[in-house]
Amino acid sequence: MSSCYFKFQEQTILLLSSELDVGAMKLKVKAIIFDIDGTLIDSLDVIAETLVEASKEIGYNIGSEDVKEFIGIPGKEIVKQLLKISDPQKIREVLEKWEEKQRKIYLKRVKLYPKVKETLEYLKKRGFKLATATSLTSDKAKEILQIFSIKRYFDTCVAADDVKEGKPSPHVFLEAAKRLNVKPEECIVVGDTEYDILAAKKAKMKVILFDPQKQKFKIIKTKPEHIIHSFQELKTLLSYNF
């Protein structure tokens, strides 16, 4: 069995051609589950800036970096936890203003990360089952996948309103595995936040951290199995495993 070594951050990872070697475990992977915001699409700045603007209009002063610490959990929870709002009507008001501001600039500012389509095409040809599992609502997640012409690559899309609890609960990932008809241990999650890592580990799935700015590995407390900085690296990583 051939092998290849790659250096990610300060970790050297042994990749085996037909199995993913994680410690003493050897795992056959059948499905890849992707987060959307910050993973497939470069949207984090827009998400943060628009919530800052929406919050300011109703009397709350927060910064973009404050918002980014919470990105990864459902929007409703971000508003509740960051702005310390418990009134349902007030939460809805913030969410509506936030959504309105995003829509005004979304298509101008938000883009797919480089090589996303090529990587998804490659994974489909290799026979992987693909899913998204997101903290977005179902309608918005499907709209985004359609806008960027990548919906056709995914066998299913699981959203926050499809499950009892959003990330960091494992429900979105477990539901994705169920819909794909695979075991949790046969899945790899690709995400960009610690919430993705926590949810994946609770689901007994392996996780790859997508860290395009090469900054998140230094601050996250829960470590992933692998780290990538581009989708080309993801394609290479999975090419040597299968």
Tell me, what CATH number does 98's domain have?
1.10.150.240
Q: Are residues 212 and 134 in the same domain?
A: yes
- pLDDT confidence bin for 27, thresholds 50/70/90: low
The span from the first CA to the last CA of the chain, in angstroms, equals 11
Highest mean pLDDT among 12-26, 115-129, 205-219: 115-129
Q: Is 211 exposed, middle or buried (0-12, 13-18, 19+ CB in 10 A)?
A: buried
Supply the range of the domain harboring residue 37. Answer: 3-41+112-241
**Residues 25, 145 within the same domain:** yes
From the list 35, 37, 162, 192, the catalytic residue is 35
The closest alpha carbon to 29, from 191, 157, 206, belongs to 206
Question: Do 119 and 184 fall into the same domain?
Answer: yes
Helical axes 75-82 vs 88-109, angle rounded to 10°:
120
Query: What was the pLDDT predicted at 25?
Result: 39
Last residue of a domain, one of 91, 109, 127: 109
Q: What domain count does the chain have?
A: 2
pLDDT per position as a tens digit, 75-111 = 999 999 999 999 999 999 999 999 999 999 998 999 9
E strands of the chain, at which residues? 3-8, 11-16, 20-22, 25-27, 31-34, 41-42, 111-112, 129-133, 156-158, 187-191, 206-210, 226-228
What's the pLDDT tens digit per position in 111-143? 999 999 999 999 999 999 999 999 999 999 999
Same domain, residue pair 101 and 123: no
Cα separation, 207 vs 33, whole angstroms: 9
- Based on the fold, state whether residues 83 and 161 are members of the same structural domain: no
Q: Distance (Å, rounded) from C-alpha 104 to C-alpha 119?
A: 29
Phi, psi for residue 113 in degrees, rounded to 5: -70, 150
Q: For strands 11-16 and 3-8, give the pairing.
A: antiparallel
pTM of the model: 0.85
Same domain, 24 and 119: yes
Q: Considering only 30-44, 133-147, 169-183, 219-233, which range has the smallest mean pLDDT?
A: 219-233
The pLDDT of residue 80 is 95
Which residue, of 60, 81, 109, is where some domain finishes? Answer: 109
What's the CATH code of the domain at 185? 3.40.50.1000
Say if residue 183 is in the same domain as residue 96: no
Residues 174 and 231 in one domain: yes
**Is 66 designated active site?**
no
Which amino acid, residue 85? I
Please identify, among 77, 109, 141, the residue that sits at the C-terminal boundary of a domain.
109
Domain shared by 73 and 62, yes or no = yes
